[in-house]
């Protein structure tokens, strides 16, 4: 019977026992594991057993074991939200009682409204208006301070609350432009003429001598005004500022006149709470610089009565084939 010493294979160079494995003259030494590594390994085993007892870990029907600590991610979320709500409560009471004017004058309430509005905008409005509120075709740019229904905080709040063209909401914003081509009100030639005139308005040189001018006065001025500057009371856009919701090229405007447009926006009342809508109103108002609250109460005389004077009947007017002013224009002169 061979002794244990004879059974061991000792490496001559290192004096360490080998495992008996050899590859191309290279022997595998049977060195023991480092003592520190062994203790770390044992500690991780003990820690894992402790974790299995204290925290939910073992899968069971309907979920996992609760663990002795009772911890769940839902509880952690509730605790973190409770902290947020507690911090909000410091301002929420004051915010609920404050008017928009008071909010704008109070730095703390203003920051509170802007922070909440920014977060809610990304969650609810950025899908259509973009994360930077730059808008897109059919979706208004909220940074340019050009407002279809008014740009004071109260105007914006009303738009947010009731939306635009929301079925069943009697307080929603509604404007209706006729489909002049589809309904046969105007011919294609007439539409081309009025589009030419509308484009001249936004280019800063109204072509009152062309046929489109009179077509505009007869069909469009009721809503957009004789000067084309629009009417916020009926949601008629300003056609002189070169800001276009659906594009400002000839074919874009032609399509609008021929077929009409009817964009929509949700009514956020009932979807978002009152405080959130008010925060959004402040945030959106500030994106484009907004309009002052006093703009709603400005006296009528602030807008000089020069509309008729802008449309000169003494210089360039549509004329008939004999060089005389057209009958409909002479009638307007008589009325004026």
Q: What is the mean pLDDT of residues 220-226?
A: 95
pLDDT at 13 over 80: no
pLDDT of residue 334: 45
Distance between CA atoms of residues 271 and 120, nearest Å: 12
Query: Domain 153-270: which CATH class?
Result: mainly alpha
- The b/e string for 102-133 (b: 16+ C-beta within 10 A; e otherwise) is ebbebeebeebbeebbeebbeebbeeebeeeb
pLDDT of residue 86: 80
**At a CB cut-off of 8 Å and minimum separation 6, what does 301 contact?**
none
Structure tokens at 242: 């070169």
User: What residue ranges do the domains of the chain occupy?
Assistant: 35-64, 153-270
* pLDDT tens for each residue of 156-211: 999 999 999 999 999 999 998 999 999 999 999 999 999 999 999 989 888 999 99
* pLDDT tens for each residue of 109-120: 999 999 999 999
pLDDT of residue 4: 54
């Amino acid at each position: 019977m061979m002794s244990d010493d004879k059974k061991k294979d000792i490496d001559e160079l290192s004096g360490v026992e080998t495992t008996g494995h050899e590859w191309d003259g290279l022997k595998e030494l049977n060195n023991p594991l480092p003592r520190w590594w062994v203790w770390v390994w044992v500690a991780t085993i003990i820690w894992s057993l402790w974790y299995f007892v204290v925290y939910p870990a073992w899968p069971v029907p309907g979920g996992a074991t609760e663990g002795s600590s009772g911890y769940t991610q839902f509880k952690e979320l509730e605790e973190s939200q409770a902290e947020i709500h507690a911090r909000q409560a410091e301002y929420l009471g004051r915010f609920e009682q404050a008017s928009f004017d008071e909010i704008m004058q109070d730095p703390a309430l203003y920051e509170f409204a802007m922070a909440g509005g920014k977060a809610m905008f990304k969650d609810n409005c950025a899908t259509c208006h973009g994360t930077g509120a730059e808008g897109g075709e059919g979706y208004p740019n909220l940074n340019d301070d050009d407002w279809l229904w008014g740009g004071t905080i109260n105007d914006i709040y009303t738009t947010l609350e009731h939306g635009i063209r929301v079925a069943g909401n009697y307080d929603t914003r509604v404007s209706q432009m006729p489909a002049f081509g589809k309904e046969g009100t105007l011919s294609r030639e007439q539409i081309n003429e009025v589009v030419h005139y509308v484009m001249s308005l936004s280019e800063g040189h109204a072509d009152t001598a062309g046929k489109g001018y009179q077509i505009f006065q007869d069909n469009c001025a009721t809503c957009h005004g004789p000067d084309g500057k629009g009417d916020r009371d009926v949601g008629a856009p300003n056609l002189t500022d070169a800001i276009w919701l659906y594009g400002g090229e000839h074919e874009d405007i032609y399509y609008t006149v021929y077929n009409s447009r009817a964009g929509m926006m949700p009514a956020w009342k009932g979807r978002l709470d009152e405080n959130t809508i008010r925060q959004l109103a402040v945030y959106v108002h500030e994106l484009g610089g907004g309009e002052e609250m006093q703009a709603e109460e400005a006296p009528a005389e602030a807008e000089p009565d020069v509309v008729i004077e802008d449309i000169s009947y003494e210089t360039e007017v549509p004329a008939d084939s004999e060089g005389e002013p057209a009958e409909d224009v002479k009638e307007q002169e008589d009325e004026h």
